[in-house]
Amino acid sequence: MPATLTINGYRIVVSSAESLFAAAERAGVRVPTSCVTQGKCKECVVEVTRGRDLLSPPTESERHLDVRGGPFRLSCQARIVVEDGEVECQTMRRGRMRIERAALHLPATHQTTTLDPAVARDGERIVDRMNGETIDRSVGPVHGLAIDLGTTTIVVRLLDLETGGLVAETSFENPQRFGGSDVMSRIHYDTLHPGRLLMRTVAGYLSHAIAELPVDPRSIYDVVLVGNSTMRDLFFRQSVYSIGQNPYRSITEIEMAEGKRTTTSLTTTGRRSLLPIHPHARVYSLPIISGHVGADAAACLLAVNLAHEDRLVAVMDIGTNTELIVGNRHRILAASCPAGPAFEGGAIACGMPGLEGAIEDVTLDDDGTFRLGVIGGGKPEGICGSGLVDLLSELLRTARMNAMGRFSDEVDRITLDTEHGMYFLERDVNELAQAKGANVAGLQVVFSQYGIQFDDLSVFYLAGGFGRHLKRGASKRIGLIPNLADDKIVQVGNAALEGATIALVSLAKRQEIESLAKRIEHCRLETHPRFFDFFVDGCQFRPIESGVRVSE
């Protein structure tokens, strides 16, 4: 039987010693490349999920992937070297992944913001209004990009800066995944591998995405990019080493404290960014707030209009690193909680990200039968974060699990779907308990430092893709979010992208967030004397009521 390759679900018979790249092309799967398979651009990376040992040994060009035993290969270098057998792999995902692009129920949007971009036309000149310099002479259109550079996903939005209108939007998985799935792994990777490989890989993918936009890329004169401190600094070629070391500060924060710069925002040119936009374009990133609370959190603040907010509000973006901001225009506190990947499906036996095939809804009937809702409606392949929250909530509601996370009847495994091998372990509950404990400890520390209780909040914004798909009742029952009235909890989706878009269309808003970011107090959770108590308490699955609720 001849060897076969299944790539992104397309199956093809491969000829002897054919590269994965060549076979993928024959199968009609486009693999990103800028070096025509020379092993130089590093963009053609694939994740091999089956048959790794049927491939040729790694080449010198793949040293950066640490391929021994790892799932990633450069498809232009890896060849199937056996006569029969099956190899399965996938490129970085586009489209199939559920990526949160929309923002909902926000007090401010780019449509409601007065059009006043930092780069604008003056007759035939395209002018950078920040420094008065002429970027170009053209009578053609003036475009700008808002980019949300997430650890897992990247979303790009193209706007006409003369009308403020949205022209196009695209999204894809962050190709830096070969450097690890969380920011700490990427920092470690970047520190160990010279050559800015992470930056160059993401710039390569962004370049392909920009080339596919329905406009001349050289008509893009302004870019506003947001991301957590690590993603942002990697893109701007900053050393990220210090973000990974206690006290976890970006090099821009350190330089600002030393009086070497006046802002933690960063600016470069189109040419230096390696993007195929106008070479003199302005590429700007919002300031970071502090530590791991990055430019994406700053962008959220623009979208919730915090600089003009009199009511007490909280913004929580739950993820591997949960960001938390509480306050109003008078005083703002921010913190980041190292929750880990459990609520994104990592470290869970049947966990998976929010992709097609993930269980996202769980209902437990009286007779003990599980009813499962699957993204895309097909057969279940795993459980994503919102499914896990539902599952915990249902187990609690039916007393099949207690508040300590112990299953009843002395079992250590609960089967959800026998046919498709879906199950949930007591060990998984422990992982989720610890992730929840970190988030709750963050909430308790920030609120106690602010001197307020949860009931004092007027609005609790849940930002980000995970927050968007959570069920409020289930989240409150397991104590992932405070036990507030439903009408106070607002799920806003990708507020960071909306904030970046607001900064793209408004120079005034850019200036507003520059000054607001300097006024935010950073709450260092690890140094708070009651952090550990809060954490232990937060590991329990019960509603978080107002007031500090820690056993003395």
Residue number, 44 or 251, with CB nearest to ligand FES: 44
How many Cβ atoms from other residues are within 10 Å of residue 124's Cβ? 10
**Cα(341)–Cα(348) distance, rounded to whole angstroms?**
9
Q: How far is CA 384 from CA 206, 364, 407, in A?
A: 27, 17, 20
Is residue 33 involved in binding ligand FES (CB under 6 A)? Answer: yes
Is 31 strand, coil or helix?
coil
The first and second tokens of residue 152, run together, are 């897992």
Give the burial class of 509: count Cβ atoms within 10 A of its Cβ; 0-12 exposed, 13-18 middle, 19 or more buried. Answer: buried
Total residues at interface with ligand FES (CB under 6 A)? 12
Among 5, 55, 76, 335, contact with ligand FES (rule: CB under 6 A): 76
Is residue 222 involved in binding ligand FES (CB under 6 A)? Answer: no
CB of 537 to ligand FES, least distance (A): 50
Give start and end residues of each alpha helix (H) in 166-248: 183-192, 197-211, 229-235
CB of 39 to ligand FES, least distance (A): 5
Residue number, 42 or 186, with CB nearest to ligand FES: 42
**Whether the Cβ atoms of residue 281 and residue 223 lie closer than 8 Å to each other:** yes
The first and second tokens of residue 373, run together, are 């809702």
Among 46, 54, 55, 74, contact with ligand FES (rule: CB under 6 A): 74
Torsion angle defined by CA atoms of residues 117, 120, 122 and 125, in that order, rounded to the nearest 10 degrees: 160
CB of 22 to ligand FES, least distance (A): 11
Binding mask 36-65 for ligand FES (x = CB under 6 A): -xxxxxxxx---------------------
In the chain, what's the furthest Cα-to-Cα distance? 77
Residue number, 41 or 383, with CB nearest to ligand FES: 41
Closest CA to 3 of 21, 30, 23, 26: 23
Query: Which of these ranges, 31-39, 247-255, 462-470, 482-490, lies near ligand FES under the rule CB under 6 A?
Result: 31-39
CB of 79 to ligand FES, least distance (A): 12
Residue 88 pairs with which residues in a beta bridge? 6, 50
Residue number, 39 or 180, with CB nearest to ligand FES: 39
Q: Residues 6 or more apart from 205 whose CB is under 8 A from it? A: 32, 43, 92, 154, 172, 175
The first and second tokens of residue 50, run together, are 């089956």
Residue number, 12 or 74, with CB nearest to ligand FES: 74
CB of 75 to ligand FES, least distance (A): 6
Residue number, 38 or 239, with CB nearest to ligand FES: 38
Is residue 324 involved in binding ligand FES (CB under 6 A)? Answer: no
**Cα(114)–Cα(109) distance, rounded to whole angstroms?**
10
CB of 42 to ligand FES, least distance (A): 5
CB of 19 to ligand FES, least distance (A): 9
Residue number, 74 or 337, with CB nearest to ligand FES: 74
**Cα(534)–Cα(552) distance, rounded to whole angstroms?**
11
Residue number, 90 or 483, with CB nearest to ligand FES: 90
CB of 426 to ligand FES, least distance (A): 44
Question: Which residues lie near ligand FES (CB under 6 A)?
Answer: 33, 35, 37-44, 74, 76
